[in-house]
Every structure is written in structure tokens, then in C-alpha cells.
């Protein structure tokens, strides 16, 4: 198996782990699945660094490991474990439906990336299609779900997808770009989990349909 095939094969695991995240019924379990998915992303970055001879991606991988595999899931786990007994997270359309939806999105993404002619992306078009599909799967989770916690995980999926897209298309970007993206994601997760906790303490619900009135 060639180097690009290894990168593309590992990237395929991101879709499997994304289905685990969106179909998880308990917040802490979803956080653990997100950590597993981020570990897959780190593996893709390491393989891509080796195959593309892009040593800066090793720092990207190290930063992603610290922020996405350890820190962000720890924040989510600590903040959301109080909801494990009171909140059962809905899936999008059930596991079989999620698999079918993911397959459709990946297929569309494959056709979307085919016209791309960037030299650095030619050997990694399957991985690029997966990264684009991953982004839109997270977006679909945000749009279709009414549970605020599930929407937070949809954001995390979108961020992982955009992270991989950047690594595939701009692997010569300075390391500070990766650090900035990772830092922004952490702060976003902290803010969103804090808001979710406050909403639940006031409304005793995490259904965003209950947010019908704004009070000063």
C-alpha cells in the first residue's frame, strides 16, 4: 500500500467515528467518541507529514493531540457528565439512517472535489472528499438537531473536517495557523458548554425550541 493510500484509508475512519458521535445517546459517551475521532485525525496528520515530507505537520499533530484528543474532550466530559442521567441525546435518524446519510454526503463530496487540480491534493482526493463530507455531516447535525448538546458536537465535527481540509490543501502553512485554530476551537467549546449549562439550569431543558423569549 502506497503512502497516499494509507492517508486516504485512515481518513476513512473519520466518517465511522463521526457516526458514533452523532448517534451517541449520552453526552459523556459522545465526548469519548469525539476524542477517538480526534486521535484518528492526529494519525492522518502524522501519515500526511511523512508522505508529503511536510515536517510542520508533526507540530500540527502534536497540537491536535493536546487540544483535540485530551483537552477539549476533558472539558466536554467534565461539563457534560451532569447531563448523563437527565439528558438522552437523540440521534439524527438512527444508526442505519446515519450510515446512509454519511454515504450520500461522501458521494456528493467526491464529485465536488474532482475538479480540484492543486498538485498537493491530487493523491489525497479521497481524504479531501472525506474532510469536506465530515464538515457537512457536522453542519447537518447542527441544523437537524434541537438538542443543544448535540449541536455542540456538530460544531466539533465541522471543526475537525475543516482542520483536515486545511492540512491537505495548505500543509506548508505556518504552525501558528494551526495553533490559532485549535485555540479558537477550545474557547468556542468552553463558551458553548457554559451557555448550555446555564440554559439547562433555567429551563430544565436543552431543547432549543424552548428558547422563544429573550429577557434583558
Secondary structure string (H, E, C) spanning the chain: CCHHHHHHHHHHHHHHHHHHHHHCCCHHHHHHHHHHHHHHHHHHHHHHHHHHCCCHHHHHHHHHHHHHHHHHHHHHHHHHHHHCCCCCCCCCCCHHHHHHHHHHHHHHHHHHHCCCCCHHHHHHHHHHHHHHHHHHHHHHHHHHCCEHHHHHHHHHHHHHHHHHHHHHHCCCCCHHHHHHHHHHHHHHHHHHHHHHHHHHHHHCCCEHHHCCCCCC
C-alpha grid cell, residue 63: 497540537
What is the arithmetic mean of pLDDT over 128-137?
A: 90
| Cα gap 85→78, rounded to integer Å | 14
pLDDT digits (tens, 9 = 90+) for 174-211: 666 666 777 777 888 888 888 888 887 777 777 777 76
pTM for the model = 0.85
What is the arithmetic mean of pLDDT over 114-131?
A: 84
What is the arithmetic mean of pLDDT over 69-86?
A: 79
Q: What is the pLDDT of residue 89?
A: 58
Distance of CA 179 to the CA centre of its chain: 17
pLDDT at 77 over 80: yes
**Range with the lowest mean pLDDT among 11-15, 120-124, 179-183?**
179-183
Q: What is the pLDDT of residue 39?
A: 94
At 90, the pLDDT band (50, 70, 90 cuts) reads low
At 47, the pLDDT band (50, 70, 90 cuts) reads very high
Are the C-beta atoms of 163 and 126 separated by less than 8 Å? no
Residue 153 to residues 120, 123, 203, Cα–Cα distance (Å): 30, 30, 21
**Range with the lowest mean pLDDT among 30-39, 143-152, 206-215?**
206-215
* Of residues 205 and 123, more confidently modeled: 123
At 34, the pLDDT band (50, 70, 90 cuts) reads very high
At 87, the pLDDT band (50, 70, 90 cuts) reads low
Closest CA to 45 of 137, 127, 133: 127
At 33, the pLDDT band (50, 70, 90 cuts) reads very high
* Of residues 91 and 111, more confidently modeled: 111
pLDDT at 71 over 70: yes
What is the arithmetic mean of pLDDT over 78-101?
A: 66
| Cα gap 9→43, rounded to integer Å | 11
Closest CA to 177 of 47, 32, 63: 63
Amino acid at each position: 500500500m502506497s503512502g497516499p493510500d494509507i492517508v486516504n484509508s485512515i481518513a476513512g475512519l473519520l466518517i465511522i467515528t463521526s457516526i458514533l458521535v452523532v448517534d451517541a445517546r449520552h453526552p459523556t459517551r459522545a465526548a469519548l467518541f469525539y476524542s477517538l475521532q480526534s486521535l484518528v485525525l492526529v494519525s492522518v496528520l502524522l501519515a500526511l507529514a511523512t508522505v508529503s515530507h511536510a515536517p510542520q505537520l508533526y507540530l500540527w499533530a502534536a497540537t491536535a493531540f493536546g487540544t483535540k484528543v485530551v483537552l477539549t474532550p476533558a472539558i466536554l466530559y467534565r461539563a457534560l457528565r451532569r447531563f448523563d442521567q437527565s439528558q438522552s441525546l437523540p440521534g439524527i435518524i438512527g444508526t442505519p439512517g446515519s450510515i446512509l446519510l454519511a454515504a450520500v454526503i461522501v458521494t456528493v463530496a467526491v464529485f465536488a472535489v474532482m475538479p480540484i487540480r492543486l498538485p498537493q491534493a491530487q493523491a489525497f482526493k479521497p481524504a479531501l472528499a472525506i474532510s469536506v463530507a465530515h464538515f457537512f455531516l457536522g453542519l447537518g447535525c447542527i441544523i437537524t438537531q434541537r438538542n443543544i448538546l448535540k449541536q455542540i458536537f456538530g460544531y466539533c465535527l465541522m471543526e475537525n473536517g475543516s482542520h483536515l481540509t486545511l492540512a491537505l490543501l495548505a500543509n506548508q502553512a505556518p504552525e501558528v495557523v494551526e495553533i490559532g485554530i485549535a485555540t479558537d476551537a477550545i474557547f468556542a467549546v468552553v463558551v458553548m458548554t457554559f451557555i448550555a449549562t446555564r440554559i439547562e439550569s433555567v429551563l430544565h431543558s436543552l431543547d432549543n425550541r424552548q428558547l422563544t423569549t429573550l429577557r434583558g
